[in-house]
Amino acid sequence: MTTKHAIAILVNDQPGVLQRVSGLFGRRGFNIESITVGQSEEQGLSRMVIVTEGDDQTLEQIEKQLYKLIDVIKVVNLSSKPMVSRELALIKVKAEPAERPEIKSLADTFRAAVVDIGTRNMMIQVVGDTEKVDALLELLKPYGIQELSRTGVTAMTRGNAL
Amino acid sequence: MKPEVITGSEILLRSLLLEGVECVFGYPGGAVLYIYDALYGFSDFRHLLTRHEQGAIHAADGYARASGKVGVCIATSGPGATNLVTGIATAYMDSVPLVVITGNVIQSLIGTDAFQEADITGITMPITKHSYLVRDAKELPRIIHEAFHIANSGRKGPVLIDIPKDVSAATTLFEPAKTMNLRGYNPTVAPNRLQLDKVAAAIQEASRPVILAGGGVVYSGGHEELLQFAETTEIPVTTTLLGLGGFPSGNRLWMGMPGMHGTYTANNAIQQSDLLICIGARFDDRVTGKLDGFAPKAKIVHIDIDPAEIGKNIHTDIPVVGDVKTVLEQLNKLVKRADQADSWRDQIQQWKAEKPFKYKDSNDSLKPQWVIEMLNETTHGEAIVTTDVGQHQMWAAQYYKFNQPRSLITSGGLGTMGFGFPSAIGAQMAHPDRLVISINGDGGMQMCSQELAICAINKIPVKIVVINNQVLGMVRQWQELIYDNRYSHIDLSGSPDFVKLAEAYGVKGLRATNKEDAQEVWREALETPGPVLVEFVVDKQENVYPMVPQGSTIDQMLMGDCE
Ligand SMILES: Cc1ncc(C[n+]2csc(CCOP(=O)(O)OP(=O)(O)O)c2C)c(N)n1
C-alpha cells in the first residue's frame, strides 16, 4: 500500500549534500513531494525533511540507500511516530475592496494572517499541517489566486519519541 | 616526522605513501601540473603514464582487484576527468576500491565555465561511494586518509578527490592525519547472532539447499571460510561471474556459474531449491533472469555487508548484515551437515554428469571454446585472467577453471568493453611474478589498444589474447537468436592487423588460425619474456550456450550445443 511519509534526515552541512540526497531520490525512482533543509540543533549538521510516497518496501529501500551516503548521519521515519508537521504558505489572492472583510474573516478562521494589502489583492500567510493549508487554499480559490508559494513540510516527533 | 611547510601537491604524495600506495596510473594536464611537478624525480612509488585516462583507471581497477589494495589514478580537470567516468562506473558497479584524484581549475574560476572546467564531483555523484572537493590544502591529509578508509571498508567502492589547482599549489604545514571525521559511516561487520541461529536451523530443515556465492566472498577474503562452510554442510555451491575463483572449481560441490550463461545444473538447482543461501551477491538480473519466478520454492538467506542490497530485488526471509568472512567464520561454528539433502546431492551430480558445457569441435577451424580450454590446460588454471566483455568473456568464465580468489578480473556489473587489456596491466603491476593473461574480443581490444605502449615501455609481461571472430560476437549472437538474423552493424571489417599493431608498439605479435599453430604460438608466447599479443582467428558463427533469453526464468535455457 503506498502512503505518504515524512522522513527526517540529519546530514553534514557540506556543499553538495542536498544534491547527493535529492540525486539519490531521482536516480532510484523515489518520489519527492516536498523537501526542506535548514539548520539543526547541532552546529555543522543540517536537518532535511522529505515528504515522499511509497509502500513499505520502497520506504525501507529509501532509508537504507540514504544511510549509504557518507554525509547522512541519521534517518528517521517521522510518520511512524507521533509527530508535529507544519508548512508555511504565502497566498496572494485577488481582493476588490468590497471582498476584503470576507477574506479577512476566512483567514481569521484558519488563524492565518493578512501580511500585505494591495489595491486589488491581499497576501495571506498561513502556517499549519498540509491539510490545513490545502483547506484554506480551497476556500480562497473562488476569489482568484494570483500567486502561491509553499515552503514544504518540516516536522518533528512529539515529546521523547525519537 | 617533524612538521614542515610544503605544497598541497607534496602533501598529496606523502599522504599517498602513508596509505601504502605502491603505484599510481595517470595522465597529466594543466590542472594537475603542480602534482606532476612534485612527481618529477619522485621514486617512492611508481607512476605509470598511460595513453588514455580510461586506460589509467581500468589499470588502477585491475590492480585493486588483483591485490585487494586500493587502486589509485590521477587525471587532469575537464576532459581528463570525464575520460574517467566509464572506469569509475565500472568500479562502482563491481565494488572495487579506488581513490581517483582529479585536478580542477582554481577555486575562483569554479562555476564560470572556465577552460577545461567540469563539475566532476557532480558528474560522478551517482557512481562514487563518496567524493570530495578540496577547499584548503590543510584538509588534504584528513581527506586522503578518509578516502582510503571509505574506499576499502564496508562495501568497497571508488572515492573521488577533486583538487583545485590553487590547492595543489598552496603551501601549508604538513601534519599527517590522525583522525577521521566520519560520524555517518559505520559499516556493520559482525552479524547478529540470532540471525545466524536461524540460518543454522534452516539448513537442518532443508532438503534442497543451495549456496549462491558472489564477489563479496572474494572481496572479504572469505574464500577459505566458504570452503569450510560448504564442506561442513555439504551444500552444493554456485558462484556468480564475480565470485568465480572464490570456490575451487574442482570441488565436487561446485555447480558452475548461474544465470544467463550459467550451467544447467546451477540454474535448475536454484529454481528447485528450498533454501537459497546467498553470500555476498546482489541478485543481478543476469543471475536471476525473470525476477518473479526466481527460486520460487526457496526460503532466502541473504548475507551482505550492504544492508541496502537485502530485499532490494528479492524478498529475503533471513537477512544477515555483516562482512562475509566474519559472518562465515561465526556461522561455521554453528552449522552441521545438511542431513536431509542426500537425494538432492545425487540429483545434482546426475545433472552435472549429463549436462556439462559442450561445443562442437572442428578440425578445420579454431573454436573459441577450444582456445580457452588450451589456455586453461597449459597454465593449469593458475594464471590471473582478465577479460573484456562479450562472448569471449563468457567462454572464459565457462571453460577456464578458476581455483583461486582474485584470479578472474572482469567487468561484471557494467559490462565495460575496453576493460580487459588495461586491467591486466594493473593486475601485473600488483603481481609482477605471476602469469597474467588478458582475453579480449577483436571489438573490445580496439577500445584501449593504445596501452600496448605502456606494456612495451615498462616491459609489463602481460600475455594479450585476441579472440578474433571478425564481428561484435555477443551482439551477433543476440541478433541471430532474437532479432531474426538481422545483422545490423556488427561487422568489424577494417580492424587492424593485430600482429602488426602490436609490433608497431614494440610488442611481439603472433597469430594462429588452426589448432596446430595455436598450440605452437601459445607455447612461444609463454616462453617469450615480456608482453606478447596472440591473435586466435576463430569461427565467427559460434554462440555461447546455454543461454537464458531476457525475460525468461533461468531454467528456461536454450541449450544449443550443450544438448
Ligand atoms: C563500451 C561498451 N560498448 C558497447 C557494449 C555492448 N556490447 C556488449 S558485447 C559486445 C560485442 C563485443 O564484441 P567483441 O569485443 O568482438 O567480443 P566477442 O563478443 O566477439 O567475443 C558489445 C558491442 C559494451 N558492453 N561496452
Segment B483-493, tens digit of pLDDT:
999 999 999 99
Q: Do A138 and A103 lie in a common domain?
A: yes
What per-residue confidence (pLDDT) applies to B327? Answer: 98
Which of B52, B389, B542 should be mutated for ligand 1, with most atoms under 8 A from CB? B389
Q: Which of A64, A80, A96 is a domain's end point?
A: A80
Indicate the pairing of strand B209-213 with strand B237-239.
parallel
Q: Do A63 and A105 lie in a common domain?
A: no
Fold classified for B4-174: Rossmann fold (3.40.50)
Assess whether the previous peptide bond of B546 is cis (omega < 30° from 0): yes
Is it true that B193-355 and B368-537 share their CATH fold? yes
Question: Is the per-residue pLDDT at B179 higher than 90?
Answer: no
Question: Is the per-residue pLDDT at A144 higher than 70?
Answer: yes
Report whether residue B373 contacts ligand 1, using a CB cutoff of 6 Å.
no
Q: Do A76 and A90 lie in a common domain?
A: no
Question: Is the per-residue pLDDT at B379 higher than 70?
Answer: yes
The residue written with cell numbers 499549519 in the block is A128
The reply to whether residue A70 touches residue B185, judged by beta carbons under 8 angstroms, is: yes
What per-residue confidence (pLDDT) applies to B68? Answer: 98
Q: Which of A24, A50, A80 is a domain's end point?
A: A80
CA geometry: angle at B57 spanning B26 and A71, to 5°?
Answer: 105
CATH class of B368-537: alpha beta
| Beta carbon pairs, A and B, within 8 Å | 43
Q: Do A148 and A91 lie in a common domain?
A: yes
Report whether residue B546 contacts ligand 1, using a CB cutoff of 6 Å.
no
The mean per-residue pLDDT over the stretch B201-223 comes to 98
Enter the C-alpha cell of residue A121.
Answer: 489583492
Question: How close A132 comes to chain B (CA, Å)?
Answer: 36
The mean per-residue pLDDT over the stretch B383-410 comes to 98
**CA dist list (Å): A161 to A66, A87, B184, B234:** 21, 21, 21, 48
The mean per-residue pLDDT over the stretch B86-97 comes to 98
Q: What is the 3-state secondary structure (H, E, C) of B433-445?
A: CCCEEEEEECCHH
**Residue B45 · residue B23 · CB < 8 Å:** yes
- Going by C-beta distance under 8 Å and a sequence separation of 6 or more, which residues neighbour residue B270? B210, B212, B238, B258, B276, B294, B295, B298, B554
Q: Is B554 helix (H, G, I), strand (E, B) or coil?
A: coil
The reply to whether residue B183 touches residue A72, judged by beta carbons under 8 angstroms, is: no
**CB nearest A73 (choices: B155, B183, B307):** B183
Q: Do A8 and A75 lie in a common domain?
A: yes
Is B126 near chain A, with CB under 8 Å?
Answer: yes
- What is the overall mean pLDDT for chain A? 95
How many CA within 13 A on the CB side of residue B92?
Answer: 17
Closest residue by Cα to residue B125 from A15, A77, A35, A12: A15
Domain count of chain A?
2
What per-residue confidence (pLDDT) applies to B358? Answer: 95
Range of the domain at A28: 3-80
The mean per-residue pLDDT over the stretch B527-535 comes to 98
A98 within domain boundaries = yes
pLDDT band at A162 (very low <50, low <70, confident <90, very high): low
Instruction: Convert the pLDDT of each residue in B133-153 to its tens digit.
Output: 999 999 999 999 999 999 999
How many other CB atoms sit within 10 Å of the CB of residue B37?
A: 16
DSSP secondary structure letter of residue B283: -
The reply to whether residue A67 touches residue B307, judged by beta carbons under 8 angstroms, is: yes
B115 is catalytic: yes
Type of residue found at A123: M
Q: Do A73 and A98 lie in a common domain?
A: no
What per-residue confidence (pLDDT) applies to A3? Answer: 86
The mean per-residue pLDDT over the stretch B311-321 comes to 96
What per-residue confidence (pLDDT) applies to A161? Answer: 66
What per-residue confidence (pLDDT) applies to B562? Answer: 87
Q: Do A45 and A99 lie in a common domain?
A: no
* Catalytic residue from among B4, B115, B180, B550: B115
The mean per-residue pLDDT over the stretch B527-532 comes to 98
Q: What is the ipTM of this complex?
A: 0.92
The rounded distance, in Å, linking the Cα atoms of A78 and A84 is 9
B229 is catalytic: no
Enter the C-alpha cell of residue B20.
Answer: 601504502
- Closest Cα to atom 5, ligand 1: which residue? B417
Distance of CA B299 to the CA centre of its chain: 29
Q: Do A112 and A56 lie in a common domain?
A: no
The rounded distance, in Å, linking the Cα atoms of B378 and B382 is 9
Type of residue found at B526: L
- Closest Cα to atom 26, ligand 1: which residue? B417
Q: Do A145 and A123 lie in a common domain?
A: yes
**Residue B460 · residue B423 · CB < 8 Å:** no
The mean per-residue pLDDT over the stretch B204-227 comes to 98
Query: Which residues of A touch chain B, with CB atoms under 8 Å apart?
Result: 11-12, 15-16, 19-20, 23, 27, 57, 60-61, 64-65, 67-74
Could you tell me the CATH number of the domain that includes residue A53?
3.30.70.260
Question: Is the per-residue pLDDT at B388 higher than 90?
Answer: yes
Fold classified for B193-355: Rossmann fold (3.40.50)
What per-residue confidence (pLDDT) applies to B1? Answer: 59
- Percent of chain B past pLDDT 90, that is, above it, reads 98
Q: Which of A26, A48, A80 is a domain's end point?
A: A80
* Catalytic residue from among B417, B474, B547, B557: B474
* Catalytic residue from among B10, B19, B25, B53: B53
Instruction: Convert the pLDDT of each residue in B435-444 to its tens digit.
Output: 999 999 999 9
Q: Do A153 and A100 lie in a common domain?
A: yes
A162 within domain boundaries = no
What per-residue confidence (pLDDT) applies to B287? Answer: 96
A153 within domain boundaries = yes
What per-residue confidence (pLDDT) applies to A19? Answer: 95
pLDDT band at A28 (very low <50, low <70, confident <90, very high): very high
Q: Is A123 exposed, middle or buried (0-12, 13-18, 19+ CB in 10 A)?
A: middle
Instruction: Convert the pLDDT of each residue in A106-139 to its tens digit.
Output: 999 999 999 999 999 999 999 999 999 999 999 9
What per-residue confidence (pLDDT) applies to B178? Answer: 87
pLDDT band at B278 (very low <50, low <70, confident <90, very high): very high
According to DSSP H, which parts of B365-430 are helical?
Answer: 368-379, 391-399, 420-430
Which chain A residue's Cα is nearest to B156?
A68
A108 within domain boundaries = yes
Domains of chain B, by residue range, sit at 4-174, 193-355, 368-537
Segment 200-219 of chain B within 8 Å of chain A by CB: none
Report whether residue B472 contacts ligand 1, using a CB cutoff of 6 Å.
yes
Report whether residue B258 contacts ligand 1, using a CB cutoff of 6 Å.
no
The rounded distance, in Å, linking the Cα atoms of B108 and B90 is 32
Residues of B in contact with A64 (CB under 8 A): 307-308, 310
B484 phi, psi to nearest 5 deg:
60, 45
Which chain A residue's Cα is nearest to B187?
A68
**Residue A145 · residue A121 · CB < 8 Å:** no
The rounded distance, in Å, linking the Cα atoms of B547 and B430 is 35
- What is the overall mean pLDDT for chain B? 97
A93 within domain boundaries = yes
Enter the C-alpha cell of residue B177.
Answer: 592525519
The residue written with cell numbers 571453460 in the block is B399
- Going by C-beta distance under 8 Å and a sequence separation of 6 or more, which residues neighbour residue A148? A89, A90, A91, A92, A137
Distance of CA B416 to the CA centre of its chain: 10
Question: How close B371 comes to chain A (CA, Å)?
Answer: 42
Q: Do A99 and A35 lie in a common domain?
A: no
What per-residue confidence (pLDDT) applies to A2? Answer: 82
How many other CB atoms sit within 10 Å of the CB of residue B436?
A: 28
Q: Do A34 and A96 lie in a common domain?
A: no
**CB nearest B184 (choices: A12, A15, A27):** A12
The reply to whether residue A15 touches residue B130, judged by beta carbons under 8 angstroms, is: no
